[in-house]
Amino acid sequence: MSDAREIDLPDGEPVGVVLPPEAIAARVDGALVDLSFVPVSDAKVETVLASEPDGLHVLRHSTAHVMAQAVCDLWPGAKYAIGPASEDGFYYDFDLPSTVSEGDLERIEARMREIVAADQPFVREDLTRTEAIERLGDQPYKREIIEQLEEGEVAAGDVVSVYRNGDWADLCLGPHVASTGRLGTFRLMKLAGAYWRGDEARPMLRRIYGTAWATQAELDDYLHRLEEAERRDHRKLGRELDLFSSPDELGPGLWVWHPRGGLFRKELEDYVRNLHLDRGYDLVVTPHIARSVLWETSGHLAKFSENMYPPMQDEQGDYYVKPMNCPFHVLIYKTSTRSYRDLPMRLSELGTVYRHERLGALHGLLRIRGGTQDDSHIVCTPDQLVDEILAVFELTVEILGTFGFTDPVITLSTLPGQTIVDEEKASKATEALTNALEKSGLQYEVAEGEGAFYGPKVDFHFKDAIGRLWQLTTVQCDFGLPERFEMEYVGEDNQRHRPVMIHRAILGTLERFSAVLIEHYAGAFPLWLSPEHVWLAPVADRHVEHARDLSARFRAADLRAHVDESAETVGKKVRAAQLMKAPYTLVIGDKEIEAGTFNVRDRSGAETKGVGFDELVRALREEIETRSLEQRRFGD
């Protein structure tokens, strides 16, 4: 098969360009094109391989076409919508005459393999919009796209491109691989529903997801990553490690923390609270409900009521459960006349909020209806704003660094269309965030219109141990609430001024953050966060008493020891300890009682023999106090 076919171009002489057989597409003067595209003689032509992002994209999009073709073969009368490449593969949306089930995926794949075997060339045709509508007239979704295409957006003038292979054709910008035989390895993954154009008011289409890679090894590697993610799933680990649950009687999105989860969470909370006290924050406590007037003033009833639980009544009127903590902190600020000398005032709370999230949006501890935010509101003068934001950025880097999260991906989100803030103030807020970002030296990108209704924000996303990005920290700059609540401070000039408020949550909610941590660590917490520090496995019944004494001695040294008192073999007890991700396991038998030293088994299964009690305590205390992310080896 020739990789560069000569075709006539409207202007310019056809020039044959021979690219290597492994080429998937070409780049001509920087633009990605089909291999059949023949550039004018002085153009710069580069080979695009399947191993590079652009090549993989072409491969995946071409696979999507073949899948759509297979689906149309198997479901005559199928209407197809859009089928782009995605992060790890591709998908295509269909409107089908009958239902599809997961079991059908195999049939579709089989048909796709036939199309691959037929090695049909992908042929690009440039048509006028009228011609294209004629060609794809029985495809209402395609027709809609064509009719709505902006002039000049897709191709010069009135021309759009259609790609055809075999007897199947689709409106498409391309480029594609030269022929269906050039696809890599693929697998259909799952079925889902998706609204046409993402609009709830439009028809729900069937979306079929697939993954595609240049080589089998890459596909295997991807499937392995999926397995790894499943292994780390916090919902599974939360149950297995007995950390938390969501009994049906509570309602969706509401969770209880079990004793082991409670210890983990206590450590997390202590760390966060103490660090905030160190950094000049004040700790406050506020109730869970408040009268409707508070939410009217704050603007939440007007802008956020969709996410608020319905009110409850008593003889004094309506009360709402809080979806945010900010108005309460504002009220604390307003209990007395504040001077510029009082600012900045940093009010901090592990505040539990309730949001009536849509049912389908709930997901384990990651998306919940009741959760506790590490929420702080910093009230300051406009002059202090940039430095305060900068300090929050620094605190963020420090706190997340403690858990092994580094190199944040940062986005600055500007104000959305619907807002309670006037333009001028919004631009001041955006400017302050931008200045702080610039001063911090952190890399960031801008997301237009993605901010909260009361102001622009900066979000920090962090990569976990298997490379997934999680949005954790949010810092929002608010000129709105100070106005609405008429917050004031008396300045050096003895005049009243309006302060600015920063909203910030560094971990987000403790629930969400815990879920991320569990997946990040695969349930094997650093020692300081572990429900147990040591797991004691008595060899026989007669050693249980000694193990209990030992546990008490550990407790006196501020260490948590669990004694496995079950009537099982040592092997079984060690296995249980490993399954519960116990950081250190000590087998307690005659030898230990006699010698007063222990063999310390860590999570990897490695043992250090003959460690004395005091030495062990010292080492564990140190590992805890430094919040070490690595298990230590003893006796080295």
Q: Tell me the C-alpha distance between 87 and 57, whole Å.
A: 9
Length of the chain: 636
Active-site amino acid positions: 326, 355, 373, 375, 377, 457, 503
**Residue 509 in the binding site for RNA (CB under 7 A):** yes
Instruction: State the minimum distance, in angstroms, from the CB of residue 368 to RNA.
Output: 5
**Residue 106 in the binding site for RNA (CB under 7 A):** no
**Residue 193 in the binding site for RNA (CB under 7 A):** yes
Q: Tell me the C-alpha distance between 625 and 636, whole Å.
A: 20
**Residue 120 in the binding site for RNA (CB under 7 A):** no
Helix (H) or strand (E) holding 213: strand 204-213
**Residue 522 in the binding site for RNA (CB under 7 A):** no
> How many residues interact with RNA (rule CB under 7 A)?
70
- Per DSSP, the three-state class of 619 is helix
Helix (H) or strand (E) holding 222: helix 216-231
Q: Tell me the C-alpha distance between 619 and 288, whole Å.
A: 42
**Residue 51 in the binding site for RNA (CB under 7 A):** no
**Residue 616 in the binding site for RNA (CB under 7 A):** no
Instruction: State the minimum distance, in angstroms, from the CB of residue 398 to RNA.
Output: 19
Residue type, 584: Y
Question: Where does this chain touch RNA (CB under 7 A) — which range of 247-255, 292-300, 421-429, 618-626?
Answer: 247-255
Question: Where does this chain touch RNA (CB under 7 A) — which range of 109-117, 270-278, 427-435, 571-579?
Answer: 571-579
What tokens appear for 346 in the block?
């940093």
- Maximum distance among all alpha carbons in the chain? 94
From residue 252 to residue 271, what is the string marking binding to RNA with x (rule CB under 7 A)?
A: xx------------------
Instruction: State the minimum distance, in angstroms, from the CB of residue 376 to RNA.
Output: 14
- Per DSSP, the three-state class of 140 is helix
Helix (H) or strand (E) holding 520: helix 510-521
User: Judged by CB, which is closer to RNA: 1, or 579?
Assistant: 579
**Residue 508 in the binding site for RNA (CB under 7 A):** yes
**Residue 338 in the binding site for RNA (CB under 7 A):** no
Question: Where does this chain touch RNA (CB under 7 A) — which range of 106-114, 286-294, 364-372, 610-618?
Answer: 364-372
Beginning with the edge strand found earlier in the chain, give each strand of the sheet holding 89-95 in spatial order. 79-80, 89-95, 204-213, 185-195
Instruction: State the minimum distance, in angstroms, from the CB of residue 194 to RNA.
Output: 4
Q: Tell me the C-alpha distance between 566 and 572, whole Å.
A: 10
Q: Which of 388, 464, 532, 592 binds RNA (CB under 7 A)?
A: 592
Q: Tell me the C-alpha distance between 484 and 298, whole Å.
A: 7
Question: Where does this chain touch RNA (CB under 7 A) — which range of 176-184, 249-257, 420-428, 522-530?
Answer: 249-257
**Residue 42 in the binding site for RNA (CB under 7 A):** no
From residue 202 to residue 231, what is the string marking binding to RNA with x (rule CB under 7 A)?
A: --x-xx------------------------
Q: Which pairs count as long-range contacts for 19-24, CB under 8 Å and 24+ apart, including other chains?
A: 19/45, 19/47, 20/47, 22/47, 22/49, 22/50, 23/47, 23/48, 23/49, 24/48, 24/49, 24/50, 24/55, 24/58, 24/59, 24/177, 24/182
**Residue 235 in the binding site for RNA (CB under 7 A):** yes
Q: Tell me the C-alpha distance between 493 and 324, whole Å.
A: 34
**Residue 540 in the binding site for RNA (CB under 7 A):** yes
Q: Which pairs count as long-range contacts for 297-304, CB under 8 Å and 24+ apart, including other chains?
A: 297/327, 297/484, 297/485, 298/324, 298/326, 298/327, 298/330, 298/481, 298/484, 298/485, 299/420, 299/453, 299/454, 299/480, 299/481, 299/484, 300/324, 300/327, 302/420, 303/418, 303/420, 303/453, 303/454, 304/453
Question: Where does this chain touch RNA (CB under 7 A) — which range of 15-23, 141-149, 358-366, 400-408?
Answer: 358-366
Question: Where does this chain touch RNA (CB under 7 A) — which range of 112-120, 142-150, 330-338, 560-568?
Answer: 560-568
User: Judged by CB, which is closer to RNA: 192, or 465?
Assistant: 192
Let me know: does 427 contact 415? Beta carbons within 8 Å.
Answer: no
**Residue 467 in the binding site for RNA (CB under 7 A):** no
Q: What share of the chain is helix, strand, coil (3-state, %, to 5)?
A: 35, 25, 35
**Residue 315 in the binding site for RNA (CB under 7 A):** no
**Residue 194 in the binding site for RNA (CB under 7 A):** yes
- How many other CB atoms sit within 10 Å of the CB of residue 567? 8
**Residue 599 in the binding site for RNA (CB under 7 A):** yes
**Residue 367 in the binding site for RNA (CB under 7 A):** yes
Helix (H) or strand (E) holding 393: helix 385-402
Q: Which of 49, 159, 191, 275 binds RNA (CB under 7 A)?
A: 191
**Residue 179 in the binding site for RNA (CB under 7 A):** no
Q: Which of 477, 574, 582, 620 binds RNA (CB under 7 A)?
A: 574
Q: Which of 16, 21, 360, 441 binds RNA (CB under 7 A)?
A: 360
**Residue 101 in the binding site for RNA (CB under 7 A):** yes
User: Judged by CB, which is closer to RNA: 239, or 553?
Assistant: 239
**Residue 417 in the binding site for RNA (CB under 7 A):** no
What tokens appear for 34 in the block?
């089909």
Q: Applying CB under 7 A, which residues contact RNA?
A: 99, 101-102, 190-195, 198, 200, 204, 206-207, 235, 239, 246, 248, 251-253, 355, 357-364, 367-369, 371, 452, 459, 471-472, 474, 505, 508-509, 511-512, 539-542, 566-572, 574-575, 578-579, 585-587, 589-592, 599, 601, 605, 607
